[in-house]
Structure 1
Amino acid sequence: MKLWQKVILGMIFGLITGYFIKQQELLGNTFIISLGILDKLQIVGSMYTSMLKMIVIPIIFFSILYGITSVEDISSFGRLGSRALILYTISTVFAVCLGIGFGILFEPGVGVHLPSLIGESVKKIEHQTLTNIIVNIIPSNPVQAMANGNTLQVVVFAFFFGVSLVMIGEKGYVARNTISSCAHAVFKMVELVIKITPYGVFAIMSHIVSEYGFKVIFSLGKFVLIVLVAMLVQYIAFWVMFLFFRIDPRPFFRKIIPTQALAFATSSSKATLSTALSEMQKKMGVSKKVSSFVLPLGASTNMSATAIYLGITTVFFSQISGVDLNYSQYGVIIFASTIGSIGAAGFPGGGIVMIGMVLSSVNLPLDGIPLIMGVDRILDMVRTTINITGDCAITLIVDKIEGSLDYKKYNEKIL
């Protein structure tokens, strides 16, 4: 049985178990109460949540370092890379803002307060100005930043460290190899934590339903619907991008369907990459030079749908935590989600882990993350489809800007 199937089963059995415990307690079944099942489930759920917290800082630090040090030479990006990165960044920032906007507008977490899940002692958020946030983003002590879980400071330090290693060339060879080994070890840690997700989801859903009933599930359904609608808007935005650059979008969206189907089935941009490259070159007339550079770059850095997910999820958790965020903190969420969506591209289950990074950036508790694990699989399939569509769309636009797009092949009808 596949992991995502186990997670869904864990969620279903958790709902049933929670409902059963709730009914038995209402009936005054002293035997069930004496077993202390609810307390034991809470312990299992807390242990799983602690494991998620444990890997947040290491995965942020090493995934960013690994991504930067994988570049052999900063200057190799040149004109082509800079154009691609600008478009990818604009697309990602728009996606985060879209996610935050949908979360604020439709309020998926309003009316659902879970004190036992997130803790009554939620850290009071200090409403800092944007200037203070920007100044404090640079760590005076990187080790202390890691110990305190200051994710934005860790991101900044990892970025400077990674760029410095690339700039010293061969002198940083040993360190870069060590970083690669550490990154893969941390990726394996994430994989191991993700493998026990079905049990964590079971324990947490049982506890939530037994204490709060099914109103939480209705809120979760609303959350899923909002995420899907926001991703649909992002999909439409790609169409608008084509029109802005004076490209007929219809051939692209007809020919991208096989790639989208594979992305939906595999939930992996990397697994879809070879098919996407072939389709772009053979059916859409994108030059080999541009597609071979820009598309893999996008698969590693451009996760617009993941950015939407991070934005909505952060607003969702702020609402169920009863915390009001100010404009400065929304700015932090945009920055952290943009970085997080890039970091999430490097390893399986990255979207879930990077939620921890974004929540930490505005001091929101991570305890509610398992709540969305049961619905993450279907959202992951949609996210991957939108992500690879965005990668291909921007690759084609860059090729058009470069003047190397084969319009005859692009407009050619497929049988």
Structure 2
Amino acid sequence: MTKSNHSHKPSTHTFGLTARIFIGMISGILIGTLLQLSFDDSGDLSFSVFGMHISTYALLVEGIFNVGGEIFVASLKMLVVPLVFVSLVCGTSSLSDPSKLGRLGGKSIVLYIGTTAIAISLAIFLALLVAPGEGLNLTSQAVYEAKQAPSLGQVIINMMPTNPINAMAEGNMLQIIVFSVLFGIAMSMCGEAGKRLTNVFEDLSEVVMKLVAILMNLAPYGVFVLMAKLFSTIGFETIFSLFKYFLLVLVALFIHGLVTYPILLKLLSGLNPLILLYKMRDAALFAFSTSSSSATLPITMETATKKLGVKSSVASFTVPLGSTINMDGTAIMQGVATVFIAQVYVVDLALSDYMMVIITATLASIGTAGVPGVGLIMLAMVLTQVGLPVEGIALIIGVDRLLDMTRTAVNVTGDCMVACIVAKSEGELDLKVYNDPEAGIKDEEINFEKS
């Protein structure tokens, strides 16, 4: 009996993908912290190349780490538009019942708005309990100029693309979703021509998902340089001065992600929430590293479809919509920040004011969708609504970057949680895949060697 030459081929990686990403993240944090502690204006090492004076710190942080991190985030963003367009066209064109699309949209929006309302209510309750701003007399050299947020009516108008290609070029997610849905519906009504085009889009979807898998295998290196750059430049003294506020936002985020979401998932779908949290680990680490729901979207989609068993017809709609309007993490920051700023400026807010904060922030999660700096714009709207000074935002800008990382991880977890609930209610969830702890892992393995 002849043995195959490949029967004992060693595994390419000793550690799984999650472990490698985690190692990259921790290594980056340690290297970045050591760089910040080791180098200053007097102690920086430097050398000359072709007569140019080069700083070692600048070479590492502004050179290697900055370039590597920007390339990694850009490569993720590169896939967002083709992934959303292709997957949403595939999902919509496969719907046999057009009314199903309305149900998917209605359920998704109600769930996203509901979780946002719960998030900000939880944040306000905890902030009033802990009182993070009492007794603080903080001053800040930073200034914050509030940008004008569009009205809800204008957002609805802007959802209809006048130029779909331009919408894709600019990454306007709501316009891309609308065009993709209309394109998919038209394909489903075109008979044989639509079926032929559907086959093409399904093949394109496979190719795009394979690109996602390739990037996931390069993620540990991307995460390393992102963390190394961030922690070599972040000011730790700012964190210490705002430690109570910083810690409270983190606690509220963890409670929402690890308690609220599991309870909602169990009550509304009967699914085991521990499986969801376990399978979200890669997407959460990506979100933490990039601080962008949009950049993490390819990974979130891959997690929802390959690991959680959500059918593409549901995931292709609910997940991109969630990355655009689901602001649970941001809502938590707004709730704590509103109470914090009110206490710092010694302004007493009535119960009606807190109710106004909850309503404003919840509705603003849709009204400001797709606007750059959305979290701070929403916070400016909330502060204005209850008569607090908008310049108070300058007090918390210093620690917002680190908190943004954590709240993005919470947001993508919420996207997948809603996708699972909606899919289960529509009979579009593969329970075998959901309950399989190894589901989707083989799809992440890429052999770069020629077979």
TM range (shorter): 0.5 to 0.7
More helix per residue:
1
Deviations 1:238-260 (CA, angstroms, capped at 9, x unpaired): 11112112111122111111111
Confirm or deny that 1:355 pairs with 2:379.
Answer: yes
Deviations 1:282-315 (CA, angstroms, capped at 9, x unpaired): 1211100000000000000001011000111011
Please tell me whether the aligned partners of residues 95 and 234 of structure 1 are also in contact (alpha carbons under 8 angstroms).
yes
Aligned counterpart in structure 1 of residue 263 of structure 2, from 240, 262, 285 = 240
- The residue that corresponds to 2:287 in the other structure is 263
Please tell me whether the aligned partners of residues 150 and 361 of structure 1 are also in contact (alpha carbons under 8 angstroms).
no
- Partner secondary structure for residue 264 of structure 1: helix
Q: Distance in 2 between matches of 1:249 and 1:77?
A: 26
Structure 1 segment 183-262 matched on structure 2, within 5 A: 220-235=242-257, 236-245=259-268, 246-262=270-286
- The residue that corresponds to 1:210 in the other structure is none
Report the residue type matching 1:160 in the other structure: G
Please tell me whether the aligned partners of residues 117 and 368 of structure 1 are also in contact (alpha carbons under 8 angstroms).
no
Structure 1 segment 128-167 matched on structure 2, within 5 A: 158-163=151-156
- The residue that corresponds to 2:397 in the other structure is 373
| Cα 1:276/1:317, change in 2 over 3 Å | same
| Cα 1:111/1:283, change in 2 over 3 Å | same
Report the residue type matching 2:251 in the other structure: V
Please tell me whether the aligned partners of residues 255 and 284 of structure 1 are also in contact (alpha carbons under 8 angstroms).
yes
Structure 1 residue 408: deviation in Å?
A: 0.7
| Structure 2: gaps (5+ residues) | 1-28, 41-98, 174-233, 442-451
Structure 1 residue 342: deviation in Å?
A: 3.8
Q: Distance in 1 between matches of 2:321 and 2:158?
A: 20
Please tell me whether the aligned partners of residues 294 and 323 of structure 2 are also in contact (alpha carbons under 8 angstroms).
yes
Structure 1 residue 393: deviation in Å?
A: 0.7
| Cα 1:161/1:367, change in 2 over 3 Å | closer
Report the residue type matching 2:263 in the other structure: V
Aligned counterpart in structure 1 of residue 419 of structure 2, from 382, 395, 398 = 395
Confirm or deny that 1:105 pairs with 2:144.
Answer: no
Please tell me whether the aligned partners of residues 113 and 322 of structure 1 are also in contact (alpha carbons under 8 angstroms).
no
Deviations 1:13-37 (CA, angstroms, capped at 9, x unpaired): 9xx9xxxxxxxxxxxxxxxxxxxxx
Aligned counterpart in structure 1 of residue 317 of structure 2, from 293, 296, 303 = 293
- Partner secondary structure for residue 390 of structure 2: coil
CA RMSD of aligned residues (A): 4.1
Report the residue type matching 2:327 in the other structure: M
Q: Distance in 2 between matches of 1:413 and 1:218?
A: 40
Please tell me whether the aligned partners of residues 368 and 378 of structure 2 are also in contact (alpha carbons under 8 angstroms).
yes
Alignment identity in percent?
39
Aligned counterpart in structure 1 of residue 344 of structure 2, from 320, 326, 343 = 320
Please tell me whether the aligned partners of residues 340 and 354 of structure 1 are also in contact (alpha carbons under 8 angstroms).
yes
Q: Distance in 1 between matches of 2:368 and 2:285?
A: 21
Please tell me whether the aligned partners of residues 286 and 399 of structure 1 are also in contact (alpha carbons under 8 angstroms).
yes
- Partner secondary structure for residue 346 of structure 1: coil
Q: Distance in 2 between matches of 1:112 and 1:253?
A: 37
TM-score normalised according to structure 1 size: 0.60
Deviations 1:25-68 (CA, angstroms, capped at 9, x unpaired): xxxxxxxxxxxxxxxxxxxxxxxxxxxxxxxxxxxxxxxxxxxx
Q: How many residues align?
A: 287
